[in-house]
Amino acid sequence: MEKRKILFAHLGSFSHINNAVLNSFHSIFKEYEIETIDLKILLKKMSLKDKIILSLNTLLISKNLNPKSIKGNLMKSPYFWNLSNRLIKKAAKNKDYIFTFQTQSNFDGKISNSPHYIYTDHTHLVNLEYPGFLKKNLNVNSWQKKENEFYKKSQGIFTMSNHVKNSLLIQYQIEPSLVRCVFAGANITKENVIYPLSRYQNKKILFVGVDWERKGGPELFEAFKILIQKHPDAKLDIVGCNPNLNFPNVTIWGRLPIQEVKKHYESASIFCMPSKREPFGIVYLEAMAYKLPIVALKIGALPDLVEEGKTGFLVNFKDNHLMAEKLNILLDQPSLAKEMGEIAYQKVESQYNWESSVLAIKEHIISQGFLK
């Protein structure tokens, strides 16, 4: 007997999240056939006519003739919602799906009358809650209207964090029964991880991020300059970017292969990335999976991830002295850093794994009567 089909639509890798979610879909929805459509591939193959129309529509909203500006704003054009929907519909070839599903909420993957579900780490309006974000930097009103309509025509929206769930309920006024926080998983999980106390005594603070400014690198550097007055042997390892810094005990590693990044997690004492805008932050889960205490900002999903005083510390934006103080506490007490790292690891194991998230998605769909 032929299996009934589910469509899984996505846009590229989404920080390696899509592969992890898809693998869990195959496991949790094993009685169904999972078909996938990658919008990123469809966009590369779209017709010259579509490319021209998208570019012209983007030019109208950006009013900047710089080709780099146009390319960087393609998804901010209201036309992108229509284009993404048409491309996915064409690729689906009018097949009959028991339901359709997409990760991220910056394109329209609803292709038919089948129930459609979204799994996202973000909404556009949640940007207003981040430090330094100005309302004038929001996408044009017609884009925002498309996003709002997109949410309202879905049968369910699953979020990675409670702050995005609250955004949908309050800022978009979505029906509460349609929104559920199912969390997410760490892309690096380890079983029976054992780290000696000496690892937490080596006073190595780890930052992993591609965007130095947005990820709070300058603020961490200022805190480190305060911190090093008390701990002159403290070290700061910067992985993923290349800021122009020349300071004692600061090592800039730049972009590294995953296996090299792994070594930095394993040798670090503390993970600190005080990101100013962070929809979710899989990197925090990865650090927790390596038994690292976290020091970060009190924004976005961080209050879900970091239990104050148990798995790390959260500070307010630009409170660099308090950030230095929290880092000091962990450097002064390696045994506390180790204890927090252990609790963080247990939290990832029990609450943040992909199978649990996808199982919660399936249970919700079943509760709506769309699956037996």
Same domain for 169 and 246: no
At 32, is the pLDDT very low, low, confident or very high (cuts 50, 70, 90)?
very high
What φ, ψ does residue 108 adopt, rounded to 5°?
-110, 105
- The number of distinct structural domains making up the chain is 2
- Domain assignment present for 192: no
Answer yes or no: is 319 within a domain: yes
Taking CA 81 as the corner, what is the angle to CA 79 and CA 85, rounded to the nearest 5 degrees? 120
Tell me: do 208 and 343 sit in the same domain: yes
Same domain for 202 and 344, yes or no, is yes
pLDDT on residue 346: 92
Query: Residue 67's pLDDT is what?
Result: 65
Domain-embedded: residue 18:
yes
Based on the domain organization, do 313 and 361 belong to the same domain?
Answer: no
How do the residues of the chain divide into helix, strand and coil, expressed in percent and rounded to 5? 45, 15, 40
Is 240 within a domain?
yes
Residues 21 and 91 occupy one common structural domain: yes
* Structural domain for 281, as ranges: 197-351
Residue type at position 330: L
Task: Dump pLDDT digits (tens) for 13-30.
Answer: 887 889 999 999 999 999
Same domain, 211 and 116: no
Q: In what order do the strands lie in the sheet with 312-315?
A: 250-254, 235-239, 204-208, 270-272, 294-297, 312-315
**Residues 259 and 159 reside in one and the same domain:** no
For residue 98, what is the enclosing H or E element? Answer: strand 97-103
Looking at the fold, whether 133 and 101 belong to one and the same domain comes out as yes
Is the residue at 242 inside a domain?
yes
59 and 124, same domain (yes or no): yes
Task: State the CATH number of the domain containing residue 161.
Answer: 3.40.50.2000
Flag whether pLDDT at 183 surpasses 70: yes
Beta strand ranges found along 209-320 (DSSP E): 235-239, 250-254, 270-272, 294-297, 312-315
120 shares a domain with 261: no
Q: Calculate the average pLDDT of the chain.
A: 93
Query: Residue 334 falls within a domain, yes or no?
Result: yes
What pLDDT digit, counting tens, does each position of 149-166 carry? Answer: 999 999 999 999 999 999
Q: Any idea which of 54-63, 90-99, 213-222, 284-293 has the lowest mean pLDDT?
A: 54-63
Query: 10 — phi, psi (to 5°)?
Result: -150, 170
How far is residue 215's CA from residue 238's CA, in Å, rounded to a whole number?
11
Instruction: Among 119-123, 130-134, 368-372, name the one with the lowest average pLDDT.
Output: 368-372
Task: Answer yes or no: is 336 within a domain.
Answer: yes
171 and 38 share a domain? yes
Task: Determine, yes or no, domain membership for 372.
Answer: no
Closest CA to 225 of 327, 296, 299: 327
DSSP reduced 3-state for 40: helix
- C-alpha 35/C-alpha 175 separation (Å) is 29
Q: Which residue has the higher pLDDT, 185 or 34?
A: 34
Q: Tell me: do 208 and 165 sit in the same domain.
A: no
